[in-house]
Amino acid sequence: MAGEIVERAGGAEKLALVGIRRGGVPIAARLAEHIQELESVRVPVGAVDIALYRDDASTALPKPQIGRSEIPFEVEGHCIVLVDDVLYTGRTVRAALDALLDYGRPQKIELAVLVDRGGRELPIQPDFVVKVTDVGPTDRIDVVADASGFHAVVYPGGSP
């Protein structure tokens, strides 16, 4: 996927990666390593937490855990690739877009996910995707990491 991202962006100069907490953050970090191997360029990497931007914020967990958003680069002018592990309803991505735009006006935002599991509730589609799988709403998908990379594991019925 790293090569495709660089190719589509026409080089790594303007590229930046932003992982969506929590699943997208390690994937963004790994992508940045791959891009460095390919292009010998260290692209800036950030993280967004979408808890404050949820469309169900008022019914959120009574004891919510919120991670910090860290965008350690100037958003303005960058081609930003939002990175998440699993794309499902699209609501998380909607929230992440709003969060990101509060940091400035990027030239472009694209979406990269490891798994697209269908079930969209908003008109949002990925630009880069590794695996498309159509699973039922009660199934659960976990992305696990090991030395060889990331793997999607499907739990039919939702329990591991």
Partner 1 sequence: MTDPAESWGTRHLLGTEGLKADDAVHLLDLAEVFFEVSKRRVRKVPTLRGKTVINLFFEPSTRTRTSFEIAGKRLSADVVNLSGSSSSVSKGESLLDTVKNLEAMRPDILVVRHSASGAPHYVAARTHARVVNAGDGTHEHPTQALLDAFTIRRAKGAIEGLTVAICGDIAHSRVARSNAMLLSTLGANVRFAGPRTLLPPADNAYPVATFDRIEPALEGADVVMVLRIQLERLSGALLPSLREYARLFGLSAARLARAKPDAIVMHPGPINRGVEIDGSIADGPRSVILDQVEAGVAVRMAVLYLLSAEPGQAPLS
What are the residues binding partner 1 (CB under 8 A)? 49, 52-54, 56-69, 98-99, 101-104
> How many angstroms separate the CA atoms of 82 and 50, rounded?
12
| Choice between 15 and 92, CB closer to partner 1 | 92
CB of 49: closest distance to partner 1 in angstroms?
Answer: 7
Q: How many C-beta atoms lie closer than 10 Å to residue 77's C-beta?
A: 13
| Choice between 18 and 35, CB closer to partner 1 | 18
Q: Could you tell me the CA-to-CA distances from 11 to 39, 42, 66, 127 in Å, in that order?
A: 8, 12, 34, 16
CB of 127: closest distance to partner 1 in angstroms?
Answer: 24
| Choice between 59 and 148, CB closer to partner 1 | 59
| Choice between 49 and 116, CB closer to partner 1 | 49
Listed in sequence order, the residues at least 6 apart from 83 whose beta carbon sits closer than 8 Å to its beta carbon are 17, 18, 19, 20, 24, 27, 28, 31, 112, 113
CB of 3: closest distance to partner 1 in angstroms?
Answer: 31
